[in-house]
Structures are given as structure tokens and as C-alpha cells.
Amino acid sequence: MTIYPAIDIKGGRCVRLTQGRADQETVYAENPADVAAEFKAAGSGWVHVVDLDGAFAGEPQNLAAVQAIAALGMKVQLGGGLRTRAAVERALGFGVSRVVIGTRAAESEAFVGELVQAFGAKVAVGIDAKDGKVAVKGWVDTTGTGALDLAKRMGALGVRTLIYTDIGTDGMLTGPNFAAQEAMLALGAANVIASGGVSRREDVVGLADLARRRTNLDGVIVGKALYEKRVTLPDLLELAR
């Protein structure tokens, strides 16, 4: 199981939003690349980066910061505002290892299919769910599409990685929604990266146990718990091994 430490970028700075709300922002660092360098020094090979401004605006806004992170030599998984092929190609050209398509995946299967044909495993789909329904545009809008239904369709298109976020737990430090994650894994549509709610070491232990039962659990994204020092990255990396 892979640990994906998270960096959310807004206004060029490393921040966290509570349940995706722009008015619930905490700034943790002025330079996201410095945070990524700390993750790398702790032994992490991956970093999960979200361009929050891009998610709200519909196109990437913080690519200079992303490029600085990629220059460290880490594998970067990037989401936020990647809604055109040109934006995806630009991000990959900057050294991003995997792009995460969210809003456009809910809007256009043809777009996702085209990307998968062109870039294969470098394309992941982010499914952000509120009460089981897909939320888009930086979680501002909730659609009528069920998260599990979208996952099935994405798997049929050849998407190999799904990032499943339970919005109700994100940034709340209340623990993951294990039932929702297990339901997603049970579909077998693709590998799944769990996101949302990790608050303590025991949450990652629980996910590691789940990964032994559901081998398509690729990993877990950990954000606020790291910044609030409720967990340490070296310990989580050791647990995941």
C-alpha cells in the first residue's frame, strides 16, 4: 500500500481546506516545494498535489509550484482544473507522473476515454462523493450521479486508478469512511486510492488490513493529520510496507 502525502496549493501556498470550503482555509507553508522536500526526506516516493485554484477556476493556476515540486524527483500525482487535453499534456510535460481527472470525468466519458488511449496509466479519475453522489467543480456542485456508477463506467473505459474521496470526512480528522471505501473496492473496477478522514495511526492500520483483503486498494492520501502532527510520515511509510 502506498502512502500519498498531500499538498493542496492555493495562491501559491500550501493550505488545507475543511471539506473543500474556500472560506475554511489554513495556511501551513508559503512554499509547497519545501513541504514536498520534507516528504521526500522522510522517504516518500509519491506526493499528491491538488491545485485548488485550478479546481475552482477550471484550469490550472499553480503550475509553477507544481513544476518546482516535480523538479525534486518525486512522483507527482496532480489534480485540480485538468479539464482539457492541453492542460493534461502541459502537466505531464512538467514531469507529473499521474494526472487526476475529476469534474470532466463526471461530464464526459469520451474525454476520459481519449486520455486513457493517449496516456494509459498516467490518467487517474478522482471520484469525490457527498452522501454517495459525485461532487464536482471543487466540490461546489453535487450531481445526481452515484459514485459507484461512475466508477463502473470509468473502469469500463480502461481507467486503472480511482481516487475515492468521502467529502464528509475530508479534513475533519474523524477517520475514513471504511464502508464507502470497501464498497468501492468491491466493485473491482480499478485500483483505488482512499482519501478523506485519516486522523491517527490506527486509521492507516485499518486501511492496511483492508488492503490485505482487497488487493486493489493501492494506497491512501494523508493530509491534515500530517500537518497537525497527529501522525508522522516515516511511521506511516513503515506501516504501509
Residue 30 lies in a domain: yes
Residue 241, domain member (yes or no): no
Q: CA dist 118 to 40, 91, 122, 155, Å?
A: 30, 14, 9, 16
The confidence band for 214, taking pLDDT boundaries of 50, 70 and 90, is very high
Domain count across the chain = 1
Average pLDDT, whole number, for the chain? 94
Catalytic-role residue among 8, 51, 170, 203: 8
Range of the domain at 126: 2-235
171 has a pLDDT exceeding 70: no
pLDDT band at 11; cut points 50, 70, 90: very high
What per-residue confidence (pLDDT) applies to 168? 73
Mean pLDDT of 57-79: 96
Residue 240 resides in a domain:
no
Helices within the chain (DSSP H only): 32-41, 52-57, 63-70, 85-93, 103-107, 109-119, 147-156, 178-187, 201-213, 224-227, 233-240
- By three-state DSSP, how is residue 78 classified? strand
Going by DSSP bridges, is the β-strand pair 133-136/123-130 parallel, antiparallel, or unpaired?
A: antiparallel
The answer, yes or no, to whether residue 18 has pLDDT greater than 90, is no
CA angle 155, 197, 137 (to 5 degrees): 55
The string of pLDDT tens digits covering residues 37-55 is 999 999 999 999 999 999 9
Q: Is pLDDT of 170 > 70?
A: no
- Assess whether pLDDT exceeds 90 at residue 120: yes
Whether the per-residue pLDDT at 138 is higher than 70: the answer is: no
Q: What is the pLDDT of residue 78?
A: 98
Among residues 51, 53, 128, 203, which one is catalytic? 128
219 vs 241, more confident? 219
Question: Is 170 a catalytic site residue?
Answer: no
Residue 50 forms beta bridges with which residues? 8, 79
- Cα 44–chain centre separation: 15
Q: What is the pLDDT of residue 16?
A: 87
Residue 27 lies in a domain: yes
Q: Are 10 and 199 in contact (CB under 8 A)?
A: no
Is residue 8 annotated as part of the catalytic site, yes or no? yes
The Cα 17–Cα 221 span in angstroms is: 15
The CATH number for 228's domain is: 3.20.20.70
Where does the pLDDT of residue 172 fall: very low under 50, low under 70, confident under 90, or very high at 90 and above?
low
CA dihedral 193, 197, 202, 207 (to 10 degrees): -20
Angle at 209 between CA 4 and CA 120, to 5 degrees: 45
- pLDDT the model gives residue 39: 98
pTM equals 0.95
